[in-house]
A = this chain, B = another copy of it.
Amino acid sequence: MSKHVLAQNQYGKAENRIVHVTRKGSDGSWHEIRDLNVSVALRGEFRDVHLTGDNANCLPTDTTKNTVYAFAKEHGITSPEAFGILLAKHFVTSQAPIHEAQIRIEEYSWERIPVPTRKERHSFVRKGQEVRTSQITFSEHTGQLQVISGLKDLTVMNSTNSEFHGYIKDKYTTLQEAYDRILATKVTSRWAYSAAAAADGEFDWDRSYAKVRTHMLDAFAETYSYSLQQTLTQMAERVLDHCPKVNEVRLNLPNKHHFLVDLEPFGLKNDNEVYYAADRMYGLIEGTIHRDGVEPVIATSDWIVA
């Protein structure tokens, strides 16, 4: 190791699956649940762990797991972001060798099964739509808390109001211009909050999530689209316009192609009725939009440094 350099490194326990039940009401029969998948990554003075296996500076990944479960009991889970902030600060402030902690959380949402015959409520069906994500990073050096929230697997479709034409035609171009097509995508998005929001102990993360999600869906539905890039921009703009605490939005939009099936051989006219939904290959459109004057912080899918 004398001649080589240990650069970025991190470790921790990934994918700690936790379900937390809160009992409310006078008799505790009204249950609320949060269902999370929590991953911990620690950064700091781990040179000896790498070079010789001297673990004096190493908090075991098993301990980081235990901490997740114990914190759920000690502090409850008011939101993934608030829970992640508690955990990130704990690791950095309680152990000298740990200088930065990053907590990533997926949340799976549930809705109640309505049961008219009784008052108590403890029955749930998993909603199964998008997964809510968050990434909380606390750094000792800067004292900064960074919160990036997001969602994934939110599949949407406009069955009209999408065109695509006027593009470059080179020698390999065979695509026909389209004046009425299906536009469908599976949204992955991440958005970064201002430092002020991250530091605000009263910030309502659940409400903010719902608001961002609604504006994204609205923008997708309302945009008459000439390119998926344009739709992407509208979705991000709408969030920045309505959510003052969000500084930056990144979207990753696979173009889930729906090809009009050629029914001419069977003497049938396909008047934008019958589509083949393809799996692969797919267009992939990615982009970041941020407020003027703000430094973007959301990692692109693969950033080229330098």
Contact = CB atoms under 8 A, between A and B. Distances in A.
B230 A168 contact: no
Contacts of A5: 289-292, 294
Given A66-B266, A127-B129, A128-B128, A274 B155 contact: no
Interface string A40-74: 01000010011111111111111101110110111
Residues of A in contact with B, size category: 35 or more
Contacts of A19: 182, 258, 274-277
A3 interface: yes
A263 B72 CA distance: 11
Interface in A1-37: 1, 3-22, 31, 33, 35
Contact of A274 (B39, B69, B170, B217): B69
A200 interface: no
22 contacts: A3-B291, A5-B289, A11-B284, A13-B284, A14-B280, A15-B282, A16-B281, A19-B258, A35-B277, A51-B230, A59-B167, A63-B168, A69-B276, A70-B266, A113-B220, A115-B221, A122-B160, A128-B129, A137-B304, A279-B280, A299-B304, A303-B303
